[in-house]
Amino acid sequence: MFRKTYLIMAVLVALSMIFAACTSTDTGSESTEGQPAEAENVTLRVLVHQNPPMVAFMESFNQSFHEKYPNITVDMSIVNANDLSTVTQTRLTANDVDVVDMFGFANAAQPYMKQVDAPNWQQLIDAGLLMDLTGQPFIQNYDSAAIQDAGTYNGKVYEINLGRVSYSGIYYNKDMFTANNVTVPTTWSELVAACETFKAAGIPCMTAGGKDGWPIFVGAYGLLGAIYPDQAALVEGLWSGTIRWNDETSLVMWERMQVYARDMMEDGASGIAGDAAPGRFASGAVAMFPGGTWYAPAIDAAEPAFEWGYIPFPGSDNPEDNQYLFGKYDQGWAIAANTPNGDAVLLYLTEFSDPANYQAFVDAVGFIPTQPTATLNTTIGTEVAPYLANFRVGYEQYWIAPKGAGQFANPWASYFMPFGTDDDPQTLADKVQADLQSGLDAVK
């Protein structure tokens, strides 16, 4: 009797556990295939990266969108920019997101690059994970050039790009410059002199959000641009060997990067989070802040009455070389190909792309607009307007490292002490070139 009971119990336990493991727990109200029916309650899952002014705008926009379409609720997830590609990959693969915010759509592999892996956005499209947006009416609201350069792949549109940004400029504290009789620098020597004046007055020259890693070296991308104004040619030259990181011209760049890291950046900058750096600059703790135009709204939000300006990084002693702003097409919206909420998602992008909403967006985040009807109403817009004719796509948008290249094969100021181990420009230049050459030799 007991044996039979044991047997029955064992079978029931085994079957129930297997059944529990295999049964879907999806009890949501959303349809899992096809389009949601009209007026059916829909939850749109939107993924964005952490950028406080953009997040604040999106929360407000989502609220307005929900009020206009009460059956659609937006569930927005926010991740650190460094984690965006990872989360995008996992959530798209799990079919757990409808709208994703994507970076770097522009940097495709160039024909002269051998054996390189496609960038992640291209891999996502090739895997069939992003929706083809070609022909959607809202695309007409954007510059055709922006859609072509930063949204089109193999003749189809997969992303609407929301704006361009510059990352090669320096914010400066106008009151502090006036109080210390410092003129706005237009050459490298003037920048060095300005920093020495501020340091003598007990004011750290510059800060950056070094805790996130990249803000330290991206701050010096203007220096790279002043030395190599044609950055597409720079990348091709590095691949072909006509430009070397340890040649005479590059050595000037490394020497200046050392001054930037060692003498210009404030002590402790490596501990400041990317989000906190604009606030630190706005608080008057430092005189300058090398960084992207996307920081402007955060500076204004931290200290609305704060007077600041924005200039191209004067990395050259020839003022003519310092007239360029380098940057990129910033974030864009893409849609999961397998979204069960296709109608609602397209409605969401249509609403976002409405010129009035888009204008509010660029006003909030400080992007250089990609809709032709939008205007530069912001302080940062006014500051960058004189340089827009000289806006150039930056190095990082072109660069893909050859397989086998070492980890130092990048023009990063953060290799220098106190952030890295190097304190000799020539030695570092040789190491960087050797790391790059190793990869170039490996893919020959």
DSSP 103: -
Least Å distance between CB 16 and another protein? 9
Q: Looking at 119, 237, 309, 342, which residue binds another protein (CB under 8 A)?
A: 119
- Candidates 122-130, 148-156, 223-231, 234-242: pick the segment binding another protein (CB under 8 A): 122-130
| Largest distance between two CA atoms of the chain | 99
Least Å distance between CB 310 and another protein? 23
Least Å distance between CB 95 and another protein? 8
Decide if residue 404 touches another protein (CB under 8 A): yes
Q: Looking at 28, 268, 284, 386, which residue binds another protein (CB under 8 A)?
A: 268
Decide if residue 309 touches another protein (CB under 8 A): no
Query: In the numeric block, which tokens belong to residue 130?
Result: 């992003």
Query: Binding string, 413-432, against another protein, x = CB under 8 A?
Result: --x-xxxxx-----------
Q: Looking at 46, 84, 160, 299, which residue binds another protein (CB under 8 A)?
A: 84
Hey, which residues between 182 and 211 contact another protein (CB under 8 A)?
210-211
Hey, which residues between 85 and 104 contact another protein (CB under 8 A)?
85-86, 89, 92-93, 95, 103-104
Range 59-86 burial, b when 16+ CB lie within 10 A, else e: eebbeebeeebeebebebebbebeebbe
146 or 405: whose CB is closer to another protein?
405
Q: Looking at 74, 124, 344, 384, which residue binds another protein (CB under 8 A)?
A: 124
Least Å distance between CB 197 and another protein? 22
Cβ-based neighbour number of residue 22 at 10 Å = 7
Least Å distance between CB 126 and another protein? 6
| DSSP secondary structure letters along 388-413 | GGGEEE-HHHH--PPTT--TT-S--G
Say how far apart CA 128 and CA 340 lie, in whole Å. Answer: 15
Decide if residue 212 touches another protein (CB under 8 A): yes
Amino acid at 195: C
Decide if residue 32 touches another protein (CB under 8 A): no
Contacts of 361 (CB under 8 A, 6+ apart): 57, 61, 162, 352, 367
SS3 327: strand
Separation of first and last alpha carbons in the chain = 76
Decide if residue 433 touches another protein (CB under 8 A): no
Least Å distance between CB 194 and another protein? 22
363 or 396: whose CB is closer to another protein?
396
How many helices (H) and strands (E) the chain has is answered by: 18, 13
278 or 314: whose CB is closer to another protein?
278
Q: Which H helix or E strand runs over 89? A: helix 84-93
Contacts of 123 (CB under 8 A, 6+ apart): 117
Hey, which residues between 269 and 288 contact another protein (CB under 8 A)?
269-272
Q: How many residues bind another protein (CB under 8 A)?
A: 67
DSSP 261: I
Least Å distance between CB 359 and another protein? 26
274 or 314: whose CB is closer to another protein?
274
145 or 442: whose CB is closer to another protein?
442
Decide if residue 145 touches another protein (CB under 8 A): no
Least Å distance between CB 426 and another protein? 19
Say how far apart CA 189 and CA 172 lie, in whole Å. Answer: 17
300 or 330: whose CB is closer to another protein?
330
| DSSP secondary structure letters along 8-47 | HHHHHHHHHHHHHHHS-----SS-SSSPPPTT--EEEEEE
Given a contact cutoff of 8 angstroms between Cβ atoms, the answer to whether 59 and 74 are in contact is no
Contacts of 268 (CB under 8 A, 6+ apart): none
Least Å distance between CB 334 and another protein? 14
Hey, which residues between 34 and 73 contact another protein (CB under 8 A)?
none
Query: In the numeric block, which tokens belong to residue 337?
Result: 């190909």
CA 248-250-253 angle, to 5 degrees, is 120
Half-sphere exposure (CA, 13 Å, Cβ side) for 200?
9
Given a contact cutoff of 8 angstroms between Cβ atoms, the answer to whether 167 and 328 are in contact is yes
Place of tokens 């490596």: 270
Least Å distance between CB 106 and another protein? 9
Decide if residue 233 touches another protein (CB under 8 A): no
Least Å distance between CB 159 and another protein? 13
In the complex, the residues that contact another protein under the rule CB under 8 A are: 3-4, 6-7, 10-11, 13-14, 17-18, 21, 81-82, 84-86, 89, 92-93, 95, 103-104, 107, 117-121, 123-124, 126-129, 210-214, 267-272, 396, 401, 403-410, 415, 417-421, 434-435, 438-439, 441-442
